[in-house]
């Protein structure tokens, strides 16, 4: 198949991302706008504001990636966009723009699963894994372990039964008054703390399966906060213990998945995958097991257009047929195995 230039559009939540990926030369350009400042006053994402901001940002970002790649709109051969899961209104902005642009250009479109974008993003790194591998997806409301045999070939090994790791980070940060976005702020405060001062559970650590549960961990923090006033050092120590609990569970389950599958490559993807404590624990555990850990570049851990453009290009290369432009829907809830 001849080389194709794929435009990727990500608008599933509070980041607007666009990118251009060449099916042979790789990623050519990407641009991202984060809405952190917009939602900070509310302590979380306001869906209607998120949708409106996507509308404001999407055209300027398209112009930027075209300029950065030295390309024209007419050079685009296909448009990939996040069709789900995510916020319905936010998804519709990206989907509507993608379908309209593709129709105007006379090119096909590729609806892409948001988590597939995260799952394949480590393949953009200088040192990339090869299929098959185990993937630990820790993105927003998702915590899953997958066996990845190839593009579109995903087997669910385990998933969270309630709160995902990212949700637990954000909700715990809110309990401690750390502001928004809470996860990164909690991780930074944990660097100044010491473990051992507080006793927190390691939910489902020895459950004998590859599933997760983090709501009880959040509840344990809520109970501690309700019992006593915490000074800054106590907060730091509590954050350190909380992070250690999540890292221990994620690491144990991910390494167990490697053992269960017999594979020697582990991919970490999603926003929580940027957590340095998690990366260190997984690297150490994998080394002991004779395995290797791969993850995206730090800039590509959070939601971005590059992973969507790349996933679209990979789907084309794997023989997945795009669809003609015109007529579309989004899937706010969407099982990755159905992608």
Give, in degrees to the nearest 5, the angle at Cα 107 between 106 and 111: 135
* 124 belongs to a structural domain: no
Span 203-230, average pLDDT: 94
262 and 143 assigned to the same domain: yes
What is the pLDDT at residue 329? 84
Instruction: Report the chain's C-alpha Rg in angstroms.
Output: 20
Structure tokens at 283: 């690297």
DSSP H helical segments within the chain, as ranges?
36-40, 47-69, 88-105, 114-120, 165-175, 182-190, 215-227, 232-261, 276-288, 305-317
Split at pLDDT 50, 70, 90, the class of 298 is confident
| 77 lies in the same domain as 135 | no
Together in a domain, 138 and 185: yes
How far, in Å, CA of 95 to CA of 81, rounded?
6
192 & 325 share domain: no
pLDDT score recorded for residue 325:
86
Say how many residues make up the chain.
Answer: 339
Tell me: do 180 and 41 sit in the same domain: no
Q: Which residues contact 284 (CB under 8 A, 6 or more apart)?
A: none
Q: Say what the pLDDT of residue 338 is.
A: 82
Does the residue 34 lie in any domain? Answer: yes
- Residue-wise pLDDT for 94-145, tens only, equals 999 999 999 999 999 999 999 999 999 999 998 999 999 999 999 878 999 9
| Helical segments of 228-334, H only | 232-261, 276-288, 305-317
Task: Kindly state whether residue 193 falls inside one of the protein's structural domains.
Answer: yes
Domain shared by 257 and 230, yes or no: yes
Q: How far is CA 280 from CA 6, 243, 258, 274, 293, in A?
A: 34, 13, 17, 11, 10
| Segment 40-55, tens digit of pLDDT | 988 899 999 999 999 9
Number of domains in the chain: 2
For residue 219, pLDDT over 80 is answered with: yes
Q: Is the pLDDT of residue 1 over 80?
A: no
CA distances from 292 to 128, 231, 262, 265, 285 (A): 11, 40, 13, 5, 9
Q: What pTM was computed for the model?
A: 0.95
The answer to whether residues 147 and 269 belong to one domain is yes
Q: For the domain that residue 166 is a member of, what is the CATH number? A: 3.30.420.40
Is 274 within a domain? yes
Q: Confirm if 258 and 285 have CB atoms less than 8 A apart.
A: no
Write down the pLDDT at residue 180: 85
pLDDT of residue 326: 82
The pLDDT assigned to 168 comes to 94
State whether 212 and 97 are in the same domain: no
Regarding whether 312 and 230 lie in a shared domain, the answer is: no
For 258-267, what is each residue's pLDDT tens digit? 999 999 999 9
Do 172 and 282 belong to one domain?
yes
Residue 305 forms part of a structural domain: yes
* Same domain, yes or no: 227 and 325: no
What is the average pLDDT score of the chain? 95
- Range of 287's domain? 129-295
């Amino acid at each position: 198949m001849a080389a194709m230039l794929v435009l990727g559009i990500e608008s599933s939540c509070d980041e607007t991302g666009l990118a251009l990926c060449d099916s042979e030369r790789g990623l050519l350009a990407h641009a991202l706008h984060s809405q952190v400042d917009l939602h900070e006053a509310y302590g979380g994402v306001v869906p209607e504001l998120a949708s409106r901001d996507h509308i404001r940002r999407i055209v300027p970002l398209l112009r930027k990636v075209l300029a950065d790649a030295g390309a024209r709109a007419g050079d685009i051969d296909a448009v990939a966009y996040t069709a789900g899961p995510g916020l319905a209104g936010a998804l519709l902005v990206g989907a509507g723009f993608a379908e309209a642009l593709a129709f105007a250009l006379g090119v096909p479109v590729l609806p892409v699963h948001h988590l597939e974008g995260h799952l394949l993003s480590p393949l953009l790194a200088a040192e990339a894994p090869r299929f098959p591998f185990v993937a630990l997806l820790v993105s927003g409301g998702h915590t899953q372990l997958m066996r990845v045999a190839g593009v579109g070939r995903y087997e669910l090994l385990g998933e969270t039964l309630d709160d995902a790791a990212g949700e637990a980070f954000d909700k715990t940060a809110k309990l401690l008054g750390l502001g928004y976005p809470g996860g990164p702020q909690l991780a930074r405060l944990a660097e100044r703390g010491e473990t051992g001062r507080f006793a927190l559970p390691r939910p489902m650590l020895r459950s004998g399966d590859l599933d997760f549960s983090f709501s009880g961990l959040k509840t344990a923090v809520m109970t501690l906060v309700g019992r006593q006033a915490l000074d800054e050092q106590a907060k730091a120590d509590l954050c350190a213990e909380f992070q250690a609990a999540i890292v221990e569970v994620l690491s144990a389950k991910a390494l167990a998945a490697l053992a269960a599958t017999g594979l020697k490559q582990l991919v970490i993807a999603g926003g929580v995958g940027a957590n340095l404590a998690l990366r260190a624990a997984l690297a150490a555990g994998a080394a002991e097991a004779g395995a290797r850990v791969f993850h995206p570049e730090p800039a590509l851990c959070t939601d971005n257009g590059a992973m969507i453009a790349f996933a679209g290009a990979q789907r084309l290369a794997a023989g997945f047929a795009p669809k003609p432009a015109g007529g579309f829907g989004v899937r706010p809830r969407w099982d990755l195995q159905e992608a």
